[in-house]
Amino acid sequence: MAEHIIHPIPMMLLMRSIHEQVYRVGAYVGQVAIDCVYLWYIEGTKQNIVVDTGMTAEMLKNANVPGLSTGVIHIQTLEEGLGKYGLKPEDIDLVIITHCHVDHIPLAHKFRNAKFLVQQAELDYHRTPPPAPVDPRPCPKEVLDTLNWEVVNGDYQIEEGIKVLLTPGHTPGGQSVAVDTAKGVAILDSLCTTDANWDVPPSLEERMEVLCPGVHSDPAQAYESLIRVKEMADIRVPIHEPRFAWIDRIPD
């Protein structure tokens, strides 16, 4: 079994309503969620692989995306984050895109030598996105039309110990990333979760095992995808969970 290491590269912290994070949970009314925007470098692969591209705080402020554009704190640049591992954006061979929302793909142009692995359903969704009130975060058309896409349908083995899993619901073509590590399979989910989505309040434990993300294309589908991740993962990595901003490696 391959023993890879996942390195979180945090780029910014942001605050938003808890109901952007968890769907229709009355126990959380009035609370605020703290999220972190990352890219993730996977060490130990044959090719240089990262997951998502990150986004700068300035880009997020200028994008004026409802629910994402307030309380933004810069952490580091893409170049600073990758530089800690002796890499530059042009050294990356493959970028796995969990989904194409604007906080996961806007720095794609910096990875000029990379292929971008994406689900066909995700491209189809963003090429004809729903109206803004339904999903205010579609991928910009200029990004869709200029990247070197590697398109897959469903679960796909990238190389030994690295696999993507089709986990729709946050978006129709979201894909989580399963990584073999020394302590089991770590899964970076595609559903924009934090620990809040996995830590179900005692009052709801008899009714549900996880909490659906507040932003979704299909809440039932999102729930089933989270259950799939829960059953398969030895280590769950919610991809907006802020505690990873202070962790250099997974597993530690």
SS3 for 133-153 is: CCCCCCCCHHHHCCCCEEEEC
140 CB-near residues (< 8 Å, 6+ apart): 102, 106
What is the rounded distance in angstroms from the CA atom of residue 249 to the CA atom of residue 146?
32
Q: What is the pLDDT of residue 64?
A: 67
Task: Look at 52 and 33; give whichever has higher pLDDT.
Answer: 52
Domains and CATH numbers, the chain: 5-244 (3.60.15.10)
Confidence of residue 68 (pLDDT cuts 50, 70, 90): low
Query: pTM for the full model?
Result: 0.95
Of the pLDDT bands very low, low, confident and very high (cuts 50, 70, 90), residue 26 is low
CB 4 within 8 A of CB 162: yes
Q: How far apart are CA 46 and CA 205, in angstroms?
A: 42
Let me know: does 48 contact 92? Beta carbons within 8 Å: yes
Cβ atoms of residues 117 and 94 within 8 Å: yes
Question: Hunting for tokens 């559903």 — which residue is that?
Answer: 191
What average pLDDT does the chain have? Answer: 92
Q: Over range 13-39, report the average pLDDT.
A: 81
Q: Which residue has the higher pLDDT, 212 or 66?
A: 212
